[in-house]
């Protein structure tokens, strides 16, 4: 569904992303982890088109993304959330969702009538007429996800969706994302530092360090990989999880 081949992004002499090749299948939930500064958000920005890659190739469902603007990539099926929330504060919850729904309908990928149920799954039903800037932080996070889903994406990229959430909120988020998985063929690429959340949600995990992929595998393989332990997890990671 999403395929990256030798993708590199440089800022001057700094290689923030180095020769990354990645393939995410339809319906797959892929984790993307690594230490701060590893290049995770930069990679997501490259995929969504906010940053232009320096070399390599990106494709979605067999179609090249390289020449497309961020808006065209969204229309083609790239949905995302941001590490720093980007909600329209003066619009209501439903108006925020409708902005994306319009693009989703225009894309021709079908009817997204199930969004009403998504609103319920993400605990927003009684808040649809409230201005976004009146929501709690946790509900803003949920709104951003539902808004991205309204695009009817082929690939949904979530940049630290559980950031700032307590354990109960994170568990509810995981249940809601598993519901999305059961309802759609949408692939997900999830960045987060909450390893318990990532390990339980994702079937496969890619690990970045200093812009390069250092490991890829299932949660057990990643948790036992010495390169990953040295670069990111630490020897006591299993106790922490």
Q: What is the pLDDT of residues 111-164, one digit of tens each?
A: 566 788 999 999 999 999 999 999 998 899 999 999 999 988 999 999 999 988
Going by pLDDT thresholds of 50, 70 and 90, the confidence category of residue 240 is very low
Sequence spans of domains, the chain: 2-240
Quote the CA–CA distance of 134 and 114 in Å, as a whole number.
25
How far apart (Å, rounded) are the C-alpha atoms in residues 70 and 54?
16
Of 11, 23, 25, nearest in space to 47 by CA? 23
- Tens of pLDDT, residue by residue over 18-55, are 999 999 999 999 999 999 999 999 999 999 999 999 99
DSSP code string of 43-81: HHHHHHTSS--SEEEEEETTEE-TT--HHHHHHHTEEE-
pLDDT at 241 over 60: no
Rounded to the nearest integer, the mean pLDDT of the chain is: 91
pLDDT band at 62 (very low <50, low <70, confident <90, very high): very high
Residue 125 pLDDT = 95
- State pLDDT tens for residues 70-108: 999 998 999 999 988 889 999 999 999 988 887 766 666
Would you state the pLDDT for residue 157? Answer: 97
Closest to 153 (Cα-Cα) out of 103, 114, 91, 88: 103
pLDDT above 70 as % of the chain: 93
For the domain with range 2-240, which CATH number is right: 3.40.309.10, 3.90.1150.10, 3.30.390.50, 3.40.50.300?
A: 3.40.50.300
What is the model's pTM? 0.90
Angle, vertex CA 203, rays to CA 58 and CA 100, nearest 5: 55
Q: What is the DSSP letter of 82?
A: -
User: What mean pLDDT is predicted for residues 165-170?
Assistant: 91
> Which ranges of the chain does DSSP label H, i.e. alpha helix?
40-48, 70-76, 93-106, 115-121, 137-149, 167-183, 195-201, 219-223, 226-228, 237-240
Alpha carbons 17 and 77: distance in angstroms, whole number: 23
For residue 195, give the 3-state DSSP assignment. helix
């Amino acid at each position: 569904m999403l395929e990256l081949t030798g993708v590199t992004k440089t800022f001057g002499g700094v290689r923030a992303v180095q020769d990354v090749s990645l393939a995410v299948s339809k319906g797959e939930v892929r984790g993307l982890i690594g230490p701060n500064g590893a290049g995770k958000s930069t990679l997501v920005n490259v995929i969504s088109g906010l940053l232009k890659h320096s070399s390599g190739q990106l494709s979605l469902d067999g179609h090249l993304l390289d020449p497309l603007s961020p808006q065209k990539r969204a229309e083609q099926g790239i949905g995302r959330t941001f590490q720093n929330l980007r909600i329209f504060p003066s619009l209501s919850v439903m108006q925020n969702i409708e902005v994306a729904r319009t693009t989703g309908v225009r894309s021709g990928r079908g009817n997204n009538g199930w969004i009403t149920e998504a609103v319920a799954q993400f605990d927003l039903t009684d808040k649809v007429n409230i201005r976004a800037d009146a929501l709690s932080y946790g509900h803003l996070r949920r709104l951003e996800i539902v808004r991205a889903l309204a695009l009817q994406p082929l690939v949904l990229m979530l940049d630290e969706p559980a950031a700032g959430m307590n354990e109960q909120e994170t568990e509810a988020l995981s249940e809601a994302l598993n519901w999305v998985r059961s309802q759609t063929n949408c692939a997900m690429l999830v960045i987060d530092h909450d390893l318990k959340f990532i390990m339980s949600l994702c079937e496969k995990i890619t690990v970045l360090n200093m812009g390069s992929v250092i490991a890829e595998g299932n949660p057990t393989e990643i948790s036992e990989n010495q390169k990953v332990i040295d670069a990111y997890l630490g020897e006591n990671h299993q106790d922490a999880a």
